[in-house]
Amino acid sequence: LNEESLYRPDFHFTPKANWMNDPNGLFYYRGIYHMYFQYYPEGNVWGPMHWGHAISKDLVNWEEKEIALYPDSLGYIFSGSAVVDIHNTSGFGTLENPPIVAMYTYHDMPAEKAGKVDYQTQAIAYSLDDGYTWTKYEGNPVIKNPGINNFRDPKVSWDSINNSWLMTLATTDENFIYRSDDLINWTLLQKFGEGLGAKGVWECPDFFPMKVEGTDETKWVLLQNLNPGGLNGGSGIQYFIGDFDGTTFTLDPSFEKDLELQKAIWLDYGRDNYAGVTWSNIPDSDGRKLFIGWMSNWDYAQVVPTKKWRSAMTLARELKLVKNNNQYRVYSNPVKELDDNISKTINQKPVKTSDEVLIGEGQDIDFNRVKIEFRIPNINQAKYVFTLFNSVNEKVIFGYDNVKKEFFSDRSKAGDLSFSDKFGATQTIVPIYDDVYNELKVELVLDKTSFEVFYNDGKSSMTEIFFLSEPLTGVSVHANGNEFELSDIKISQLKFD
């Protein structure tokens, strides 16, 4: 076994070589999903940032392309976004061949080293060949720094309600919302976030309207990544839900109440989903909110035990806004295209027991996806425990604890922990402000170095990575000695190129 065979994910995007962090510039156009990413092509740790590029027809199989943006005299190319300027509002293209416009942050390293605070500015570039090659706008930067050290990660979207462009970017603990008619001239509308949510350094925001599932109601969602300050230290994704009148975003009163009770609401309870944002230009006929995150954590990303490349993206996911008992929550699930990549599914017989159950016992199948309905009659005792294991007794353990009302994950026996004190040894419990479940619907997606678990139709999710010294060989479940029932067990193997 070498690094490639043991650790290179089968169906999560990784760069062929060297360092990657945030997904950037996500847009869809003419049948192709584009994904750029923070990339340092000359080393396996963070360095002078470029935008790498990958494309996909189905959000599952990715193909790496040429580097899209290189650093220049204005700075490194930090995170940002891209839109298809269909009406050619920027004038960079034509109506027949609309420009793709990317907006990103320049990080001026010498200025930072010289002790200045205004080293981050916002800039644009455009592509006239569907995102493969780019020209930087000669009038950059388009937004100068107002004297704030953290001032970055512009996320642009078309505001179809007000017929203009909206952009949001992050400062240390606030979010700045801007508007523009041409993607070049920007007016600040609002600073949002004072005193709200989890603090740390806010980065990579995303701001968009969503229809509440099954209704005609629209609410606005603000995803706000932050690092440090995540749920278990390091990086994490929180979000806010409210209304936007074209100028001002205000929290929904119910969400304000939620925040009084629980400080922050998280999109993912695991430690390895960060800098996640959504695709632009998804056709109305599709209508999905499609999301992808960086599957790592700044606490240890630069020292994980892969040398040739570092880090992967999460699965692409569909976000939904759900209202339940007067609470708004963003649900996430793997994109439905994952189903088109399944080569084999077996159904396991339902079981009722208090012993540990091996999933797929005796079946010749690779465990890429497991769906289970899990019921525990004696709910007050119950802990739902999943164990991923290999032949040398290394384990990744996770589940839900009805007594503590917490989702948990435990990597303390998960193979190689030597590279960082924070990886296996930090607290493994994540508080969730949820219910007691006597039934848990679980979708688990496994790759060589990650698990992504989606509970109860995506109401809660957890994404974590691990580095075992031998491949995974199985999955088992138990309920801490209590009787439980498993039904509707479906185990699938994926096919990938």
**Which residues contribute to the site for ligand FRU (CB under 6 A)?**
21-22, 38, 49, 78-79, 105, 152-153, 203-204, 275
Q: What is the C-alpha separation between 209 and 476, in angstroms, rounded? A: 40
Q: Whole-number minimum distance, CB 76 to ligand FRU, in Å? A: 8
Beta carbon of residue 47, minimum distance to ligand FRU (angstroms, whole number): 9
Beta-strand relationship, 317-324 and 100-107: unpaired
Minimum CB–partner distance for residue 204 and ligand FRU (Å):
6
Residue with tokens 């605070």: 117
Residues 457, 214 contacting (CB under 8 angstroms): no
| 18-29 and 309-310 strand pairing | parallel
What is d(CA 152, CA 169) in angstroms, rounded to the nearest whole number? 6
Phi and psi angles of residue 433, each rounded to the nearest 5 degrees, phi first: -105, 70
Token duo for residue 214: 């099954």
Bridge partner residues of 492 (DSSP): 345, 369
Q: Compare residues 79 and 492 and give the one whose CB is closer to ligand FRU.
A: 79
In the complex, the smallest distance separating the C-beta of residue 477 from ligand FRU, rounded to whole angstroms, is: 34
- Order of strands, edge to edge, in the sheet holding 383-390? 357-358, 472-478, 383-390, 395-401, 406-410, 429-431
Among 10, 22, 206, 421, the one annotated catalytic: 22
In whole angstroms, give the CA distance from residue 456 to residue 479. Answer: 17
Question: Going by DSSP bridges, is the β-strand pair 32-40/18-29 parallel, antiparallel, or unpaired?
Answer: antiparallel
E strand or H helix at 110: helix 109-113
Give the other-Cβ count within 10 Å of 240's Cβ.
27
Smaller CB separation from ligand FRU, 47 or 360: 47
Judge whether 356 and 477 are in contact, CB under 8 Å.
Answer: yes
In the annotation, is 22 catalytic?
Answer: yes
Shortest separation between residue 203's beta carbon and ligand FRU, angstroms: 3
Residue 84 or 204: which CB sits closer to ligand FRU? 204
Complex with ligand FRU: residue 93 or 236, whichever CB lies closer:
236
Nearer CB in complex with ligand FRU: 49/376: 49
Residues serving a catalytic function are: 22
